[in-house]
Amino acid sequence: MKENGRTKEMRHMKKWLLSALAVMAAVSLSACSEQRTGTLRVGVKADVANFGLYDEESGRYSGMEIDLAQQICEDLGYSGAQFVTVTSTDREEMLDTGKVDMVIATFTITDERREKYHISPVYYTDSVAVMVEDSSLITDMAGFRDCRVGVMKGTIHARLFAEHLARQGIIPAFDEDSFEPSSFDGGVTFAEYDVYQEISDALEYGEIDAFIADWSILNGFRGAGRTILEETFSTQEYGVFI
pLDDT tens digits, 224-236: 999 999 999 999 9
Q: Is residue 241 part of a domain?
A: no
Residues 11 and 110 in one domain: yes
Q: Which residues of the chain have pLDDT under 50?
A: 1-16, 23, 27, 30-35
End residue of a domain, out of 95, 125, 155:
125
145 - beta bridge partners? none
32 and 63 together in one domain? yes
pLDDT for residue 17: 52
* Residue that terminates a domain, selected from 67, 95, 125: 125
Whether 26 and 115 map to the same domain: the answer is yes
Q: What is the pLDDT of residue 15?
A: 46
Q: Are residues 7 and 103 in the same domain?
A: yes
Residues 134 and 50 in one domain: no
Sign of the torsion formed by the C-alpha atoms of 115, 120, 124 and 125 = positive
Structure confidence at residue 101 (pLDDT): 93
Q: What is residue 22's predicted lDDT score, i.e. its pLDDT?
A: 52
Could you tell me if 191 and 92 lie in one domain?
Answer: no
pLDDT at 35: 46
Range of the domain at 63: 2-125
Kindly state the greatest CA–CA separation across the chain: 58
pLDDT at 154: 87
For residues 150 and 219, membership in a common domain is answered with: yes
pLDDT given at position 24:
54
What is the rounded CA–CA span in Å between residue 114 and residue 241?
9
* CA dist., res. 125 & res. 23, Å (int): 20
